[in-house]
Structure formats: structure tokens, C-alpha cells
A and B are shown apart, each in its own frame.
Chain A
Amino acid sequence: MSPKAVKALEPAATDPSFIRNFCIIAHIDHGKSTLADRMLSVTGAVADRDMRAQYLDRMDIERERGITIKSQAVRMPWDVDGQTYALNMIDTPGHVDFTYEVSRSLAACEGAILLVDAAQGIEAQTLANLYLAMENDLEIIPVLNKIDLPAADPDKYAKEIANLIGGSPEDVLKVSGKTGMGVEALLDRVVERIPNPVGDPHAPARAMIFDSVYDTYRGVITYVRMIDGQLSPRERIQMMSTRAVHELLEIGVSSPEPVPTKGLGVGEVGYLITGVKDVRQSKVGDTVTTAAKPSTEALPGYTDPKPMVFSGLYPIDGSDYPVLRDALDKLKLSDASLNYEPETSVALGFGFRCGFLGLLHLEIVTERLEREFNLDLIATAPSVTYEVTTDDKKTVTVTNPSEFPSGKISSVEEPMVKVGILAPKDYVGAIMELCQGRRGALLGMEYFGEDRVELRYTMPLGEIVFDFFDHLKSRTQGYASLDYEPSGSQTADLVKVDILLQGEQVDAFSAIVHRDKAYAYGLLMTERLKKLIPRQQFEVPIQAAIGARIIARESVRAMRKDVLAKCYGGDISRKRKLLEKQKEGKKRMKMVGRVEVPQEAFIAALSGDTEVAKDKK
């Protein structure tokens, strides 16, 4: 048992041999934030009276959904055998969409706590991040959490973990973030096992950016891990990817509230503030050096985040378009991976085509827009990037079905991903069926412990961006977990299916799909729209087409009767008010040719919710 440190080590003057940098790898809900909270209080970094649940998760969404979107670092003092250490805990994002950010967080550490729920065992995302940590040569400290739960089966899962990373099941620590049991032993283990950082204190300064967040009051706060040299207050610093020079207004450590320091030395983790207003000027993975004595060699591993998934975001109320534009401009300040450009749709009006790192990223951005900016949004079906080569040898990059060339196509390249799915073995059949239906090719299958299997597939990304995860969850009663990583591209027989109303194309419903599935998609959308489009005075054909070829057809029969039979006394007021409402509602009607379509019908068709009343009155 170690006591709390009496006096913390002074930043900028800490011997690297007394520093430990580590992160926690865990699946959503496996208790990472609770464990982090417990560490903050055990080490005294946060006084008990200031403690609140999920201290490090600042955004409402993070706290509510129990997931970490942005990483953060916190410095905690800890004594072992009379020696005080500085422990830097780097909280990594827990989701596959943020793999790049995870990889940079891992690169800032020498070790990782592998945190696994003692009642659930390891999950696919944890596995993916674990492999990433092992590739980075991180020291892994396996820990089973929630051992206080009645359903906990620590022996079983300790064996599973030992199988996975080597070593014996006895090496797996057992803790409870909730009760605090085993947390002090874990901190001792961190000091004992994780190597101290090593760097050249006299070399030109090199610090790696592993996170960059936007703060309304202070501008961009950049989190760095010092590799070599030293950074000091008021110094001029340079970003090595852009050569941009900024003045260092403040430098410090989070413990966990920001505390300015005299600088940061080798192996230390802290934050920089330069007055920059846009996270794009302070990119994750970039190397910070000093302008006076710049380093010549940037740290490896920096890449620009590339959007993988695209979707159109439209305000449900068209007059909210300027609000959406401002909101995206603001979000961009804190989210370097968000891309967008204006787009117009016949069905949905004015909106933005947005690029995201993945599906969760899309979901989080949409939710933040709705919550923080009070917007009601509709998102079009997610799409991926296709490289389309036409017969005249021109290649077009298509992120939106509307950009799909209309002439003869010689080939289409689609992005591929390697997918890992972890599930109890009883669901193998169901998962295989689903993956094969999505053009997956089985790469391998591996058993963990007694009853769990990892299935690995290569699949087109386009097949998983649309409702794959929902299907996976429902076919496995929620037990399966999923991870994917980009894995090149392949040529495939893909076509664009258009949906036409009375011969007029409805852009929001066009989709790029495999030829074998074109008919199914056409049928699905025409049937959905048939249910959703109110009858008009004339028959409305709804067609699905590949180019000029019609592949599916439905029609909304002409309305034969639209008259209120009785109109006496109080009916008159009611009827007039109805008519006034209809006239108001007409402003929300979209015209596709002569066909009046309520916007709700488009929204319902996109979301698959055909139960929405076909209420034309």
C-alpha cells in the first residue's frame, strides 16, 4: 500500500526516470472513466470535495453516453518506496472511428493498462487497440475491472487475457473502479512495470501533439508529449508540418485542472496555448519544435485524417440553414477531422455534404449539432468514396451518388475494410450469414477462451456504413462487437440506382450499390415511397432506374375523393382552420415535378420509418 505523495514533482524539472506515461485501453462501458476517477481521488490529484463522476469527460455527450470522444491527459503524483513519481494518464478515445487519434495517444505512452470488464470479457474494439499498443511496443498491464459485480467471472477472463497477451492468469490484476479495490496496487504496478521515458534533453525540442481541443475562452489547447529537449513559456514554437510559428502564451500540465509551469522537459506530458483559434492549425500527430532552434526531423506517424464516410446534413426547417452553417464552422474549430461543403437537394433543400471518420463520428457530430445548436437535422444515407473510371479513361472521385458519371463506366473502385467481430460462438452462423450477404470474404476465425470467437472479414466499407451494425447487434442479441480498419480498395460491379417520381429524379434517394442488390434497393425504396407519398389528383409512378433502364416500379393511385362531406355550424371554423394549416403546411411541401411531397415523407423514407402517418390534411 502506497500513501499519497506528500509533495508532487515539479514539472520541467522532473527526472524522466521518475515519470510514467500510460493510457487505458478499454471497451465502452468497461469502466475506464470510473477507474480514472478513482485514480484521481486515490492520488489526491482531485480533492474528494471536487470529485464528480467521469471527471475527465467534459462534453455532455461524453458523460451521457459514457464514451470518450476526445482524449485528455492528467498528471498524478504517486509514492512508491519513499520515491515520488509523476504518472501521466492519457485518456484515449474508445472508438474505432478515432483509430488515428488512438494511435497518437499510444505513441505518447510507454505502457498501457488493458482494462476488461470481469463480467464481459474482451471486446473487438479493445482487441484492435490492444494490437495497436503491442505494435507500438507498449508494456501491457492487464486488469479486470468490476470484480465487485455478482456476474463477474475473473478467473475465466483472466485466462482469456493470458491467452491473448501471454503471461499467466495470476498476473492479471483485479480491481473495482467503483469501490476502489485494487487501485493502489495497480498504480504501484504502473510504476514498477512501465518503462520510464527516454529522450535527449539537449537536442532541439520535439513534442508530439496527441490531442488538440478548442476552448471557447482560451482558443486551442494542444496536448503534447515531450520527446526531446525542452519547451519554455513565452518561447516561439513551430509546427513542423506547416512551418507555422506561434507564440507560446502558456505551457503547463493538467492535474487535472490546467496548471501553468516553467516548461516541459523530456518525457513530460502537458498542454500548450498559443492563441490559435482553429484546431486545424494544431494537428494531432504533428511535431512541435522551437522557432529559435528548430529540429530538422519530425516525429514519425503524422497523417492527415481522411474522411471515410459521407452524408448530407440538412436542416428540417429550411430557414435553419444559416444556423447549420455557423454551427459547422464552430464545430470545425474543435474537430479537425470534420469536412463539409454546401450541397442542395431537390428533396431536402439546402444543406452540407459532410465527411466523417466513421459512423460514430457522424452520429456524434449530428448529435452535437442538434444539441449544442438546437437544430433538427436529417442525414442522407451514408456513402463512401468511389473511384469511377469512365470508358474514355477519365477517373472521377465520387463521394455523393449525384457525382456518379452518367456515361459508360469501365470500372468502379470501392474502399475495403478489414472487419473484426467478436461474439459468443453460438452466433457464428448468424454473423457469417450477415457478412456474406454484405459481400464479406472470411479471412479467419479464432477462438478466445471457451466460448468466444473472433471472425475476421474483408468487406466493402460501403456495405457496413448502412445499418450493418444494427443488423449485427440484432442478430447477436447485442453480444457482438465490431471493429474495422481500412484495407485498400477493390474493383466491383457497382451501379447507381436512381429513384424517380413521375419521371423526375429524387436526388436524396440515389444510391451506389452492387449490381446484384440494385433490384432489392429499388424495390425497397419504391415500396417505401408508395407508402409515404400522399395520393395526388393524378397517378404518380415511382420508379427505380439504373441509367435509363427501369428496374422497379410502383405507383400511387390517383386520389379520387378529397372532400369534407359535412360542413355545418362548428365544422366551418374547423374546416377553415384546417385549410389555413394546410396552406402553412404547403410551404413545407417539396415539389418534385408536379408531385407534392411532404418533407416528412422524404425524411421517413430515408430513415426507413414508414409508419409515419401519411397525413396530407
Chain B
Amino acid sequence: MAGPLPLGDPAPPDGVLPGSVLNDVDSRTLAFYLHVPFCRVRCGYCDFNTYTATELRGAKQSDYADEAAAEVAFAARALAETGLPHRQVDTIFFGGGTPTLLPAADLIRMLDAVRTHHGIVPGAEITTEANPDSVDAAYLRQLADAGFTRVSFGMQSAVPHVLATLERTHDPERVPLVVQWAKDAGLQVSVDLIYGTPGETLSDWSTSVDAALATQPDHISAYSLIVEQGTKLARQIRSGIVALPDEDLQAEMYELIDARLATAGFSWYEVSNWSTSINSRSRHNLAYWRSQDWWGIGPGAHSHVGGVRWWNVKHPAAYAARMAEGVSPAVGRETLGREARELERILLNTRIRDGIAIPSLSSEGRVAVAGLIADDLVNAKAALAGTIELTLRGRLLADVVVRRLTA
């Protein structure tokens, strides 16, 4: 996960959670995120917790699936010892890094561990991220046969110079192929795009959006490029090698994709996510945004259960050592107070279409709604019906809306 680990309280070695997580547990589903912290090369913009072969300091990629499976088993014990009722898993997401850098068998072994120790709800959503150049038809078929239901391709762009700036190595021509293979295997498909890369023009972006649509996915995510501290891209911008992406241009790019996707029959359900139907929304991501319980497996992974957040050691070697000892890989955690939980609820749900019921807001928040409508940030009709729904302008200024709702 991005950035340095937050400061927090120490986490106990047995992973047992405070009793407060038992409150309202019946209203929460359980999800698993499985982090795969490996990449063949590191992309210049990426600050995720991922490692290339030379950076692993003795941690072995081939041992990783077993270590992750060990944490899945550890999770089952810790949740049970906390006194939480047994819950089958609703959604599972493999992210990275590059999960598909591992053999399909490894991903399947990790998935089987979840099935064995927790059980999986029938009809669960099981997704993996994939690099267009690290999978083929057979690989995708294997995943589908093992129970995976969805794949999310890191397409990013269809324009070679943009991919080069991002240091993505895949051939854009390959994207339609892999999407077709995934569909042939019966998987739902999402493609992820990045906009606002240095040097990217509006017409480059238009090309990428059209290329993404041409593959006819079920789901599209589009994230503006964020320059994270400590990345190569940040250094290049600082030294003037490339120019910082212009925010106004990014706004135009957002407006372009939103219009283009609407025409193609997609509708937005979160500020950066569009789908062809309710059924093709990412249930796993919605679980994050609706503050469900989710356990993150792997180095640097974050978890959230009933208002308690924790995060694991970052380096795969340190993680491997913890798993070998059978102690919790968590290095810190925080228990959110009532106010913090409410703040998170608003900050996450404002971004979701129809995410917040106006009566659930504080009186100050309710008062702010009129101003938000007047400033064309919130849809008036939806507000009259009792929910906050961002306008197009409001989605681009979602953080402003959150600040005003929580002021």
C-alpha cells in the first residue's frame, strides 16, 4: 500500500482484536485482500509496497503463497479468539505488485487457504489484478476454473509515449487480446486507466479511452496520476525532466471519459469507477468504501475490522520471518473513535453514488447541503429525495464537498 506506514498503537502478537469490534458485527460482511508484493520492474510513478527480484533481500517469491496462506489461517484463529462469529468471505481481491507474476497455482493455493479456513459465500466476487503482459489464455482459464470471477487489467494507456513515461512495459496491442481471453474464460473484466501523465495530451487520453471501450469491458477505473513522494517520477519532476501534470487538463480528461463512458452505456458508481450495470460494480471495493470488515494479507497490507485498522510489516523478508514464527505480521494499529469513524463514513460514502442519506448527517452537515446544491456540487433532485449524489463538478471537487459536509 502507498506511502510510509502510519503511526499507531502497537499490535498484539496474537492478532486478537478489542471487544468493540463485536458491535454490529451482523451488519458487516468479511472480505479478504491478498497482496502480492512482487514486480518484474518498478514503474516510475508507483510507490506501492512491491519489490523487484533484486530488492527482496533473501525473501523468496516461491515461498510467498505459503506465507500468505499461513496468515489466512492466522486470521481465522485471531477472529475466532476475538469472539467474532464465523463468517464466510464475501469478496476476495488479489492485488499488488503483480499477482500474475506468480504461477496461477500459487494464487489458487492462496485462494484455497481462504476457502479452507473461512469458507466462501456462494456467488462471491473473486478478482485478481493482472498485467496485460503477464497472463495468457491458459493462465486465465486456470484461475477461472479455480473459482476466480473477475480480472482487473492494468491497461493505464493505449499511447506508447504515455506508457513509456509510466514505464509500463506491456504492448498496448496486447490489451484487446487478454481482455478477450478473460471473457472467453468466463471472467468479468475491468480495465484500469491512468490520466494526467506528464506529456499526455487530451487527444492521447481520448485515444486511450476509446481503446479501453473497444475491448468492451464490464468495468472501467480511471485514476488521475498522483505523484507520490519518493518515486522516480517525483524526482524527475523536481529536477525538471518532466512537467507536473496540470490539474485543469486532468479535469478536462475526467470530463471526457465521463461523457464518453456515459455514451457507451457505463454509469459512475464511485468517483473513479464506472460499470455497465449494478452487477458489474466492484463489490470488493464497495466493501472498503462502506467500512465493511476486510483483512489484508501480506507485507504492508492494511486491514479493517469493526473500527480497528492495522497494517503489516512492509518488507517481504520481515513478513516471512513473522509468519515463520507464527506471530502477527501487524506492526501498528489504531482504534477509531466515534468521530473518526463518522469522518471516514462521510469521506468514503460521499464518493459513492447515493452513498449518504442526508438525515444521517450532523445538523451542520445538513445545513451545508443547500450551499452545495447552490454551488452545483450536489445533485438537487437526489438531495430532495434524501441522498447526496455528486454532480460532475462535485465529483471533481469531492474533497471540497467532504470538507464542507464535515466542517
Contacts and interface: CB of A to CB of B under 8 A. Distances in A.
B343 A561 contact: no
B1 A567 contact: no
Interface in A566-587: 566-577, 579-580, 582-583, 586
Contacts of A576: 340, 343-344, 347
B3 A574 contact: yes
A550 B395 CA distance: 36
A562 B289 contact: no
Contacts of A572: 288, 302, 304, 309, 344, 347-348
B395 A563 contact: yes
Given A559-B397, A560-B396, A579-B406, 11 more contacts: A537-B397, A559-B247, A561-B254, A562-B399, A563-B271, A565-B226, A569-B1, A572-B302, A573-B6, A576-B343, A580-B340
A580 B346 CA distance: 13
B402 A579 contact: yes
B387 interface: no
Contacts of A574: 2-3, 6
Contacts of B139: none
Contacts, number: 103
B340 A563 contact: no
Interface string B182-203: 0000000000000000000000
Q: How extensive is the interface on chain A, given as a class?
A: 20 to 34
B403 interface: yes
Contact of B6 (A561, A562, A563, A570): A570
Contacts of A575: 347
A433 B103 CA distance: 76
A548 interface: no
Contact of A573 (B222, B300, B302, B403): B302
29 contacts: A557-B248, A560-B247, A560-B397, A561-B397, A563-B271, A563-B351, A563-B395, A565-B222, A565-B223, A566-B2, A567-B289, A569-B296, A570-B1, A570-B311, A571-B2, A572-B288, A572-B309, A572-B348, A574-B3, A575-B347, A576-B340, A577-B6, A579-B347, A579-B402, A580-B340, A580-B343, A582-B403, A583-B406, A586-B403
B272 A565 contact: yes
Contacts of A586: 403, 407
B276 to A, nearest CB: 21
B343 A537 contact: no
Contacts of B302: 569-570, 572-573
Contacts of B151: none
Contacts of B251: 560-561
Interface string B254-288: 10000000000000000110000000000001001
Contacts of A292: none
B33 interface: yes
A567 B302 CA distance: 12
B301 interface: yes
Contacts of A561: 224, 247-248, 250-251, 254, 396-397
Contacts of B3: 570, 574
A559 B334 CA distance: 34
A47 interface: no
Of residues A557, A559, A563, A579, which shows the largest number of chain B Cβ atoms within 10 Å of its Cβ? A563
Contacts of A579: 343, 347, 402-403, 406
A565 to B, nearest CB: 4
Contacts of B26: none
Contacts of B351: 563, 567
A571 B343 contact: no
B304 to A, nearest CB: 8
Interface in B313-350: 334, 340, 343-344, 347-348
B344 A568 contact: no
A572 B303 CA distance: 11
Interface of B: 1-3, 5-6, 33, 222-224, 226, 247-248, 250-251, 254, 271-272, 285, 288-289, 296, 300-302, 304, 309, 311, 334, 340, 343-344, 347-348, 351, 375, 377, 395-400, 402-403, 406-407
A151 interface: no
Contacts of A573: 6, 302, 309, 334
A568 B347 CA distance: 12
Interface in A488-526: none
Given A567-B289, A579-B403, A537 B375 contact: yes
Interface in A352-400: none
Contacts of A563: 271, 351, 395-399
A579 B351 CA distance: 14
Contacts of B377: 537
Nearest to B311: A570
Contact of A583 (B33, B247, B407): B407
B348 A567 contact: yes
A569 B399 contact: no
Nearest to B7: A577
The 6 closest A-B pairs by CB, nearest first: A570-B1, A560-B251, A565-B223, A563-B398, A570-B302, A569-B302
Contacts of B403: 579, 582-583, 586
Contacts of A582: 403
A537 to B, nearest CB: 6
A432 B226 CA distance: 52
Contacts of B272: 565-566
Contacts of A570: 1-3, 5-6, 300, 302, 311
A113 B348 CA distance: 76
Nearest to B272: A565
Of residues A574, A576, A582, which shows the largest number of chain B Cβ atoms within 10 Å of its Cβ? A576
B83 to A, nearest CB: 25
B365 to A, nearest CB: 13
A563 B377 CA distance: 13
Nearest to A563: B398
Contacts of B406: 579, 583
B336 to A, nearest CB: 8
Contacts of A557: 248
A572 B226 CA distance: 15
A565 B270 CA distance: 10
Contacts of B271: 563, 565
A576 B406 CA distance: 11
A570 B294 CA distance: 12
Nearest to B343: A576
A575 B387 CA distance: 23
A559 B375 CA distance: 13
B283 to A, nearest CB: 14
A487 B334 CA distance: 68
B2 A562 contact: no
B301 A560 contact: no
A75 to B, nearest CB: 62
A362 to B, nearest CB: 37
A571 B1 contact: yes
A540 to B, nearest CB: 15
B289 to A, nearest CB: 7
A561 B400 CA distance: 9
B228 to A, nearest CB: 11
A11 B108 CA distance: 102
B200 to A, nearest CB: 15
A443 B406 CA distance: 65
A565 B156 CA distance: 14
Interface string A182-219: 00000000000000000000000000000000000000
B224 A565 contact: yes
Contacts of B250: 561
B154 to A, nearest CB: 13
Contacts of B344: 572, 576
B202 to A, nearest CB: 14
Contact of B226 (A537, A566, A580): A566
